[in-house]
C-alpha cells in the first residue's frame, strides 16, 4: 500500500479499479437522532445485515430526545453496532466497496459520532466515503423492496421534517414545500406529551385514535393558500388549548377523541398538499417516507388517493419508516454508481436542505 499518497489519492486509485467490482457492499452508518444504526447493503437493494440500537427507553423518562444524552449513547454504542453489522453480514473490510454515513441534517453532536466513526474507518481501510442526506435516506428506504424510477414525488414526514420533494434524476432533488414551523412527527410528539401518552408520540396517538371519534373536536387545518408548505404549530396549539380549558374547568378529557381528531387534521393536510403536488407536477409515482409514514391511517388513505389519481404509491415496510442505516446504504448506492465520493473534510451539518445534498 502506498502510504506516501494522501487518502484521496489512494482511494481514487482504488476506486477506479474497484468500481467494476461486483457485488457492491456498502457499510452504512446512521446516528442523526436517537437510533445508533449500521447496515451492510449489497447493490443498493439487498440487506446483508441491519442493526439498530434504539435509545427510546433512555429518552422516555425525559419525555423526548435530549441531544447531549443522545450523543453520549451513540459514542457508547457505535463500535458494537458496526461490529455486529459486519459480523452478521460476514463482511470483511476487503469485501466492502465503500462506507456511507448520515452527515446532515440532525442533532449535531449525534451526527458527529457517526461521521467521525465513518471517516476513521474509511481512512484506516482505504475505503471511499459517501456522506448521505438523512431525508434522501428516508426517501430511498423504498428501494429495498421495490424499484423507483424518476420522475417521482416524495412526501417525507418525520420527527424533524415535513417536505414535498420532486426527484427527476436519482440523487438530485427539488424541494417543492416544507414545514414553516413544527414537523408533523414533532406535532404528534408534543401533543402526545401534553396528554401524558409518552414518547414517541406518533404510535401512542395512532393507538389511542383507534377508539376515538375523529369528528368530535373541531381543529384547524393550515392550508396556506395553494402553496406546498405546511404548518402544524397552530394545530398543536389548538389541541393544547383544548386540554388546558378542560383542565381549568375540571372536565375530563376524552383522550381517544382528541387523538383521533388531531390525527385526522394532520392526515387531511398531508393528503391535500400531496394531491395538489401530484396534479400540478403530473408525476406518476408518489413515494411516502419518514417515521410518520408508519401511521396506518396515512398509509391507507394515501394509497386510496393515489389510486383515485391514477398514480403508483410506493410505501416502505414499517421497519424501514423510522430511522435505520439500511436506507442510508440504499441512498449511498446512487452516489457510488456516479463515483461521487467525499473527502475526509466531510463534516456533520445540523441543517441542510435536501436540494443542497
Ligand atoms: O424518521 P424518524 O424515525 O426520525 C426523524 O428523522 O425524525 O421519525 C420519528 C417520528 C416521531 O416524531 C414519531 O412520533 C413519528 O415519527 N412516528 C409516527 C408513527 N410512528 C412514528 N407518527 C405517527 N404515527 C405513527 N405510527
Ligand atoms: Zn429520520
Ligand 1 pocket test, candidate residues 200, 210, 299, 331, most atoms within 8 A of CB = 200
Q: Compute, in angstroms, the gap from residue 83 CA to the centroid of ligand 1.
A: 27
> Quick one: 158 and 274 in the same domain?
yes
> Quick one: 211 and 237 in the same domain?
yes
Among the listed residues 189, 171, 160, the one whose alpha carbon sits nearest the alpha carbon of residue 290 = 160
For the chain, the domain total comes to 2
> Quick one: 272 and 192 in the same domain?
yes
Among the listed residues 316, 340, 303, 355, the one whose alpha carbon sits nearest the alpha carbon of residue 158 = 316
Residue 77: which domain range?
Answer: 2-142+322-356
Query: What is the grid cell recorded at 292?
Result: 410518520
12 burial via Cβ count (<10 Å: 0-12, 13-18, 19+): middle
pLDDT value of position 288: 98
Residue 35 near ligand 1, beta carbon < 6 Å: no
Residue 105 near ligand 1, beta carbon < 6 Å: no
Q: Compute, in angstroms, the gap from residue 128 CA to the centroid of ligand 1.
A: 31
CA distances from 134 to 30, 126, 322, 328, 339 (A): 8, 24, 11, 7, 20
Residue 141 near ligand 1, beta carbon < 6 Å: no
d(CA 186, CA 300): 21
Residue 37 near ligand 1, beta carbon < 6 Å: no
> Quick one: 246 and 168 in the same domain?
yes
Choose one of 284, 299, 315: the last residue of a domain: 315
CA distances from 138 to 94, 146, 180, 210, 218 (A): 28, 14, 20, 26, 32
pLDDT value of position 308: 98
pTM above 0.85, yes or no: yes
pLDDT value of position 1: 53
> Quick one: 281 and 335 in the same domain?
no
> Quick one: 344 and 310 in the same domain?
no
Q: Compute, in angstroms, the gap from residue 186 CA to the centroid of ligand 1.
A: 8
> Quick one: 120 and 6 in the same domain?
yes
> Quick one: 292 and 262 in the same domain?
yes
Q: Which residues pair with 42 in a beta bridge?
A: 25, 46
Q: Compute, in angstroms, the gap from residue 42 CA to the centroid of ligand 2.
A: 22
Residue 294 near ligand 1, beta carbon < 6 Å: yes
CB 21 within 8 A of CB 311: no
d(CA 212, CA 286): 29
d(CA 278, CA 282): 6
> Quick one: 132 and 10 in the same domain?
yes
Start-to-end CA distance of the chain, whole Å, equals 32
> Quick one: 266 and 127 in the same domain?
no
Residues in the chain with pLDDT < 70? 1-3, 16-17
Q: Compute, in angstroms, the gap from residue 351 CA to the centroid of ligand 2.
A: 13
> Quick one: 138 and 78 in the same domain?
yes
Q: Which ligand is nearest to the CA of 189?
A: 1
pLDDT value of position 3: 60
Query: What is the grid cell recorded at 181?
Result: 414551523
Residue 79: what are its φ and ψ, rounded to 5°? -65, -45
> Quick one: 297 and 157 in the same domain?
yes
Ligand 1 pocket test, candidate residues 60, 63, 110, 185, most atoms within 8 A of CB = 185
Q: If you count DSSP H runs as helices and E runs as strands, how many of each does the chain have, helices first?
A: 11, 10
Quickly list H helices, the chain: 7-18, 56-60, 67-89, 108-125, 134-140, 184-194, 201-209, 233-248, 255-281, 296-309, 326-338
Looking up residue 288, the CATH number of its domain turns out to be: 3.30.420.40
Amino acid at each position: 500500500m502506498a502510504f506516501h499518497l494522501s487518502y484521496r489519492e489512494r482511494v481514487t486509485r482504488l476506486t477506479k479499479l474497484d468500481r467494476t467490482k461486483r457485488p457492491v457492499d456498502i457499510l452504512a452508518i446512521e446516528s442523526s437522532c436517537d437510533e445508533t444504526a449500521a447496515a451492510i447493503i449489497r447493490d443498493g437493494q439487498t440487506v446483508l445485515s441491519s442493526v439498530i440500537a434504539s435509545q427510546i427507553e433512555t429518552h422516555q423518562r425525559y419525555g423526548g430526545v435530549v441531544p447531549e444524552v443522545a450523543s453520549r449513547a451513540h459514542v457508547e454504542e457505535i463500535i458494537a453496532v458496526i461490529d455486529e453489522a459486519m459480523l452478521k453480514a460476514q463482511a470483511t473490510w476487503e469485501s466492502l466497496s465503500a462506507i456511507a454515513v448520515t452527515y446532515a441534517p440532525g442533532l449535531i453532536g449525534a451526527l458527529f459520532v457517526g461521521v467521525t466513526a465513518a471517516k476513521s474507518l474509511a481512512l484506516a481501510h482505504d475505503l471511499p466515503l459517501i456522506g448521505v442526506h438523512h431525508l434522501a435516506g428516508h426517501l430511498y428506504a423504498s428501494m429495498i423492496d421495490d424499484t423507483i424510477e424518476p420522475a417521482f414525488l416524495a412526501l417525507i414526514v418525520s420527527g424533524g421534517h415535513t417536505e414535498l420533494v420532486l426527484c427527476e434524476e436519482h440523487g438530485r432533488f427539488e424541494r417543492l414545500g416544507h414545514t414553516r414551523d413544527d414537523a408533523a412527527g414533532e406535532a404528534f410528539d408534543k401533543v402526545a406529551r401534553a396528554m401524558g401518552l409518552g414518547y414517541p408520540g406518533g404510535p401512542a396517538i395512532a393507538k389511542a385514535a383507534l377508539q376515538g371519534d375523529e369528528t368530535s373536536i373541531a381543529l384547524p387545518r393550515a392550508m396556506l393558500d395553494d402553496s406546498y408548505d405546511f404548518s402544524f404549530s397552530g394545530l398543536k396549539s389548538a389541541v393544547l388549548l383544548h386540554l388546558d380549558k378542560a383542565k381549568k374547568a375540571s372536565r375530563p378529557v376524552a383522550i381517544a377523541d382528541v387523538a383521533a381528531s388531531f390525527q385526522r387534521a394532520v392526515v387531511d393536510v398531508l393528503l391535500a398538499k400531496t394531491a395538489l403536488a401530484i396534479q400540478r407536477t403530473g408525476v406518476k409515482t408518489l413515494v411516502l417516507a419518514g417515521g410518520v409514514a408508519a401511521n396506518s391511517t396515512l398509509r391507507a388513505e394515501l394509497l386510496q388517493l393515489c389510486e383515485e389519481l391514477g398514480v403508483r404509491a410506493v410505501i416502505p415496510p414499517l421497519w424501514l419508516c423510522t430511522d435505520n442505516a439500511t436506507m442510508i446504504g440504499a441512498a449511498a448506492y446512487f452516489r457510488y454508481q456516479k463515483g461521487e465520493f467525499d473527502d475526509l473534510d466531510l463534516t456533520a451539518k445540523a441543517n441542510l436542505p435536501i436540494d443542497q445534498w
